[in-house]
Chains A and B, each alone.
Chain A
Amino acid sequence: MSFPRLKGWVSDRYDVADEMREIARHKLVPVHGREIWYYTGGIVLFLFVIQFITGIALAFYYVPYFEKAHESVIEIVTKLNMGWFFRSLHHWGAQAAIFVMFVHVFATLLLKSYRKPRELLWVSGLCLLGISIFFGLSGYFLLWDERAFAAVRVATGGAGNLPVFGGWIKAFLRGGIDVTGETLTRFYAFHVCLLPLLALAVICFHLLLVQFHGMSVPLSQQKKIVKQVPFFPNILYRDFMIWLFVLAVVVTLATLLPPEIAKKADPLAPPPEGVKPEWYFLFLFQTLKLFPGTLAGMNGETIAIVLISLAILFFFLLPFFDRKSGLGERSPLFTAIGIAYLIYFIVMTIVGYVT
């Protein structure tokens, strides 16, 4: 099964095997006490591959039209061979990808891996997190059930509260004044066309930057003697082991806890009671609840959205403010800021889940 003639045919025309081998041989990765956190990036990449495969399989049978969407999901689950499994795997793969991405972001933040010269790695990673969250929201809406409908109405309404561009963003996302069948068509286009292209471009850019800069070594580990091991095969084999374990966990969740399908969405019906957004939106949802209807004569929700946007913008630009770690010095202030962000995210998510 080594296909020598095919290999010969390819190498006659594109003799890149030796160069590839040389690159693989010279790619070294530092090994240190905090290296476990670096595998989260590889896990996200692996989960993205699962999402692409299961997403393509589901797209063969899904009907992106508001009168048929809900029924087509039910048909996928109940009539297609392994349809329930592919849908469930797609759901749990998305949850796992976003969870691991949050872990990767906070690990990068607390290990100060964003410091000079890796600022763009941080920015591209956060862009990827934003894209993934929008992937989650748009995918959730494709179900066209009453919970997804209410969640999208709240999320797009929240975006509409942004000053200046809010109204435009809301109209662009909804495809009209309210959430309708037009919104479903748009979200389908985002989910299967625009977002995958964007995600692919950002992933390539992110990986290119990782190759260019190499893996960072945390400041706390720099003084110690850091051993370097070849990426191929040492690190790749470790990645394989972790990916296999992650696959087994996601498959188990997909089998034991298939995601529910609520009643079909009715745009004229009131939203169901106790409806909550997906877990990764809970901290935003809970923050919005903290603000009163009006504050100093202004719309409380608008103030909340502006403050949240500023906090996210600061988070984005963190490497540019943290000059000390860029110079190889400790920066306890930014460690405290990172911990504050992490605690706020965890506490608000739990409070949002429990209440």
Chain B
Amino acid sequence: MKRLLSQMATFLFTAAGPAAAEEISLLPASAYDRSAIYIDLALFWIATIVLIVLIRLKLREIERVQSMERKEDGETAPLLD
């Protein structure tokens, strides 16, 4: 029985060998590397959102200054009537 089991295991192992070799791992194989990739992806999203918010704030400030400049120009502009 033991012999039969070891033969079966050998058969399965050798049969699985070439099939496994054909399959190409498209991402790093180890679980540690994979989890690091997913954590990096989450950090990347957080950094992106923070950057977008900062640019949005900067843009709002620019638009506020531009509207103030327009108002000032309007007040000092000579009347044409």
Q: Which A residues lie at the B interface, using CB under 8 A?
A: 74, 77-78, 84, 88, 230, 233-234, 237-238, 240-241, 244-245, 247-248, 251-252, 255-256, 258-261, 263
Cα distance A245–B55 in the bound complex, in angstroms: 12
Q: Which B residues lie at the A interface, using CB under 8 A?
A: 22, 24-28, 37-38, 41, 44-45, 48, 51-52, 55-56, 58-59, 62-63, 66
Complex interface: chain A residues within 8 A of B24 (CB): 74, 77-78, 260-261
Please determine whether B52 and A241 come into contact, CB atoms closer than 8 angstroms.
yes
Q: Give the top 8 A-B pairs by smallest Cβ distance, nearest first.
A: A258-B26, A248-B48, A237-B59, A241-B52, A261-B24, A255-B41, A244-B48, A241-B55
Please determine whether B45 and A240 come into contact, CB atoms closer than 8 angstroms.
no
B-side interface mostly: helix
Nearest B residue to A247, CB-CB:
B48
Nearest B residue to A248, CB-CB:
B48
Please determine whether A245 and B58 come into contact, CB atoms closer than 8 angstroms.
no
What's the nearest-Cβ distance from chain A to residue B46, in Å?
Answer: 10
Nearest B residue to A259, CB-CB:
B26
Please determine whether A78 and B25 come into contact, CB atoms closer than 8 angstroms.
yes
Please determine whether A258 and B48 come into contact, CB atoms closer than 8 angstroms.
no
What's the nearest-Cβ distance from chain A to residue B66, in Å?
Answer: 8
Cα distance A52–B26 in the bound complex, in angstroms: 22
23 contacts between A and B (CB under 8 A): A77-B25, A77-B26, A78-B24, A78-B25, A84-B26, A84-B28, A88-B26, A230-B66, A233-B59, A237-B58, A237-B59, A240-B55, A241-B55, A241-B59, A244-B52, A248-B44, A248-B48, A251-B44, A252-B45, A255-B38, A255-B41, A259-B26, A261-B26
